[in-house]
């Protein structure tokens, strides 16, 4: 196999999605441990102060002790080169979290077994399912009291609309958790709580299903339940179908306990077997083969002010085909210019390192002197390629913003436009008004703090923010609709985005449904179509 082919074939690029506290960080950390990328549990965690080793670029981050943007972790495991895209949750949930999913080839969805599907999981799932990427489910915290596993699967199917296939099945939960039955390998991995130098670790021992010791190990009641479960699953459940997994319509489900490191490594091994190597992306409606020797990539995230002293930006790119080499000339399609990608970096587990080469599937961050926009394509000069852009995701928090000092109008407009161009915020205007007042929409409230901070520090503009009661934003899809003539409740509002597209703002779902009812032809979209 050629170098290019073998390098690309061994890559797996995915995101881990979950509601905060389901265990995403804990699982990521176990993955890194298996790969030898970190030596000690607790290195990735430490939400308070220690995480700055990974991204220590912004004052606000230091003040709050949280990571503002997601990072990418790369490590090797079992012959694979793994890229994990970290999707921030908690207060730092933002549009970047959604955009990061555009760079992933698959997703791992971590669910807390006592809670099931939660709000943030639902939102992130929606974006993954829009892209049709494979979604793997890890039902975590089985060492604690959990909900009935059938209920959990039922909820995944009904709430998210995806079929499920349980690859393993839990035996009890909480204090009675005895392990999992692996349906493919037909064996039981028994769970035994233990503590290794103060760190919670479980002992996991494999028993073939016909091992006579099992019944007494598990106990008669749970043994009987397991027999019934095995029968029921093989009779009533979905069949395993790798094609459906790859299309994103069937989610393989695994039960385990990340904290005790139980079931995580077998999960990783199954996952690596089932998830595809870098998948093809489309350009001008045609497939770009990841193995094509021409380099191509698209920008999915722009991070400002990584280095306070230089006020620079880093553009994160997903490589879609070929190989990237440091210092190579590339063509920036949107600007119509040849450029060099400066200071290409990759995020390793703890450090940011300058890299010499990278392959399809990898994510690189390059120095951006202010030329890139979200969705831009770069490629080998002469390679006819332009990836379909990245959609805009509906913000959920809105406020009206104006500058305190009217003399600073120019700086205010410049700052707002630049920050919006980076994709850190979205700006909207009421039709027929100027830029004196702007409606800003964000996915997470932290973005508003970032906006205020940056306007003050980079553009010397103080602003006044007035929060608005809207919760839902929808793009009007049908162009023939006359926005002025729409029947909407008095507390709903028509606005325009920077491309002049019309949108509706609603304070409640009820109001949105009312508008749909009264305007039967109106078609609303939750995603703003990508720029072509
Ligand atoms: P997140 O990144 O999805 O937000 O979740 P994270 O991994 O930080 O886990 C949230 C909490 O749940 C942590 O506890 C973590 O130790 C715990 N946890 C994760 N997986 C399991 C599991 O399988 N079993 C049990 N019992 N707990 C689990 P914490 O108290 O918030 O943090 P810490 O004090 O342990 O650091």
Q: Is the CB of 21 under 6 A from ligand 1?
A: yes
Predicted pLDDT of residue 506:
97
Predicted pLDDT of residue 193:
83
DSSP state of 353: E
Which of 15, 24, 26, 67 should be mutated for ligand 1, with most atoms under 8 A from CB?
A: 26
What value does the CA radius of gyration of the chain take, rounded to a whole number of Å? 25
For residue 94, what are the CA distances in angstroms to 104, 303, 399, 426? 17, 12, 16, 11
Dist. CA 112 → ligand 1 center (Å): 10
Distance CA 258, CA 267 (A): 11
Predicted pLDDT of residue 89:
66
Predicted pLDDT of residue 527:
87
**Helical residues (DSSP H) of 135-254, grouped into ranges:** 149-155, 214-218, 220-236, 242-247
Distance CA 370, CA 315 (A): 9
Predicted pLDDT of residue 318:
94
Q: Which residue has the higher pLDDT, 218 or 65?
A: 218
Distance CA 475, CA 466 (A): 23
Q: Is the CB of 381 under 6 A from ligand 1?
A: no
Q: Mark the binding-site residues for GTP, compressed into ranges.
A: 18-25, 86-90, 140-143
**Measuring CA to CA, which residue among 90, 93, 91, 123 is closest to residue 107?**
123
List pLDDT tens digits, range 207-251: 999 999 999 999 999 999 999 999 999 888 888 999 999 999 999
Distance CA 56, CA 61 (A): 7
Q: Do strands 80-86 and 11-18 pair parallel, antiparallel, or not at all (unpaired)? A: parallel
Residue identifier of the C-alpha nearest atom 10 of ligand 1: 21
| Section 305-314 average pLDDT | 60
Q: Is the CB of 30 under 6 A from ligand 1?
A: no
Tell how far CA 366 is from the center of its chain: 20
List pLDDT tens digits, range 25-41: 889 888 988 887 665 55
Q: Which of 74-83, 266-275, 301-310, 445-454 has the lowest mean pLDDT?
A: 301-310
- Could you give the 3-state DSSP secondary structure of residue 527? strand
Q: Which of 13-17, 316-320, 341-345, 453-457 has the lowest mean pLDDT?
A: 341-345
Predicted pLDDT of residue 28:
87
| Section 440-458 average pLDDT | 88
Asked if the model's pLDDT at residue 179 lies above 90, the reply is yes
Residues forming a β-bridge with 207: 188
Distance CA 230, CA 227 (A): 5
* pTM of this prediction exceeds 0.85: yes
Q: Is the CB of 48 under 6 A from ligand 1?
A: no
Sorted by where each starts, the structural domains of the chain and their CATH numbers stand as 10-274 (3.40.50.300), 281-379 (2.40.30.10), 392-528 (3.30.70.3280)
| Section 176-188 average pLDDT | 95
Burial of 20 (0-12, 13-18, 19+ CB in 10 A): middle
Predicted pLDDT of residue 447:
86
3-state secondary structure 464-491: EEEEECCCEEEEECCCCCCHHHCCCCCC
Predicted pLDDT of residue 487:
96
List pLDDT tens digits, range 378-422: 999 999 899 988 888 999 999 999 999 988 899 999 999 888 888
Q: Is the CB of 375 under 6 A from ligand 1?
A: no
| Section 490-507 average pLDDT | 93
Q: Please, are residues 56 and 62 in contact by the beta-carbon 8 Å criterion?
A: yes
φ/ψ of 528, rounded to 5, equals -80, 125
Predicted pLDDT of residue 134:
98
- Residue 56 makes CB contacts below 8 A (sequence gap 6+) with 62
% of the chain beyond a pLDDT of 70 = 87
Predicted pLDDT of residue 55:
35
Q: Which residue has the higher pLDDT, 494 or 72?
A: 494
Predicted pLDDT of residue 309:
54
Predicted pLDDT of residue 50:
38
Asked if the model's pLDDT at residue 351 lies above 70, the reply is no
Asked if the model's pLDDT at residue 460 lies above 70, the reply is yes
Dist. CA 27 → ligand 1 center (Å): 9
Q: Which residue has the higher pLDDT, 236 or 159?
A: 159
| Section 250-275 average pLDDT | 96
């Amino acid at each position: 196999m050629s170098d290019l082919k073998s390098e690309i074939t061994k890559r797996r690029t995915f995101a881990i999605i979950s509601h905060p506290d389901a265990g995403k960080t804990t699982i990521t950390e176990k993955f890194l441990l298996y790969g030898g990328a970190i030596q000690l549990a607790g290195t990735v965690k430490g939400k308070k102060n220690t995480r700055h080793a990974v991204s220590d670029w912004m004052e606000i981050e230091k003040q709050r002790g949280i990571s503002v943007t997601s990072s990418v972790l790369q490590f090797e495991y079992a012959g694979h080169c793994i890229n994990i895209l970290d999707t921030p949750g908690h207060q730092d949930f933002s549009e970047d979290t959604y955009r990061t999913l555009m760079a992933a080839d698959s997703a791992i969805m971590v669910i807390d077994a006592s809670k099931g599907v939660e709000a943030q999981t639902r939102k992130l799932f929606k974006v993954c399912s829009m892209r049709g990427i494979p979604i793997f489910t890890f039902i975590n915290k089985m060492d604690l009291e959990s909900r009935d596993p059938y209920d959990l699967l039922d909820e995944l199917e009904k709430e998210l609309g995806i079929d499920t296939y349980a690859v393993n099945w839990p035996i009890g939960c909480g204090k009675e958790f005895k392990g999992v039955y692996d349906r493919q390998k037909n064996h039981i991995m028994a769970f035994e709580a233990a503590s290794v130098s103060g760190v919670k670790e479980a002992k996991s021992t494999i028993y073939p299903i016909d091992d006579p010791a099992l019944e007494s190990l598990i106990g008669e009641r749970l043994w009987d339940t397991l027999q019934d479960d095995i029968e029921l699953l093989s009779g009533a459940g979905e069949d395993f179908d790798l094609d459906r997994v790859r299309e994103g319509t069937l989610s393989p489900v695994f039960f385990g306990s990340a904290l005790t490191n139980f079931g995580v490594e077998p999960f990783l091994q199954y996952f690596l077997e089932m998830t595809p190597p870098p998948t093809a992306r489309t350009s001008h409606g045609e497939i770009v083969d990841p193995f094509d020797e021409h380099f191509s990539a698209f920008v999915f995230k722009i991070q400002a002010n990584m280095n306070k002293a230089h006020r620079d930006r880093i553009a994160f790119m997903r490589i879609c085909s070929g190989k990237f080499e440091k210092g190579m000339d590339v063509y920036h399609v949107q600007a119509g210019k040849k450029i060099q990608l400066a200071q290409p970096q990759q995020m390793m587990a703890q450090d940011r390192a300058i890299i010499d080469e990278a392959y399809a599937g990898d994510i690189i961050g390059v120095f951006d002197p202010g030329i890139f926009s979200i969705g831009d394509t770069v490629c080998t000069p002469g390679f006819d390629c332009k990836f379909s852009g990245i959609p805009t995701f509906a913000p959920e928090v809105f406020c009206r913003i104006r500058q305190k000092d009217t003399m600073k109008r120019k700086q205010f407009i410049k700052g707002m436009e630049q920050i919006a161009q980076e994709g850190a915020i979205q700006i909207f205007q009421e039709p027929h008004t100027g830029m004196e007042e702007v409606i800003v929409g964000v996915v997470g409230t932290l973005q508003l703090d970032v906006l205020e901070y940056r306007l003050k520090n980079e553009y010397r503009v103080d602003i006044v923010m007035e929060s608005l009661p809207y919760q839902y934003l929808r793009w009007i899809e049908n162009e023939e609709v006359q926005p002025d003539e729409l029947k909407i409740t008095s507390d709903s509002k028509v606005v325009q985005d920077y491309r002049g597209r019309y949108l509706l703002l609603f304070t409640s779902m009820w109001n949105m449904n009312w508008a749909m009812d009264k305007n039967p032809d109106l078609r609303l979209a939750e995603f703003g179509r990508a720029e072509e």
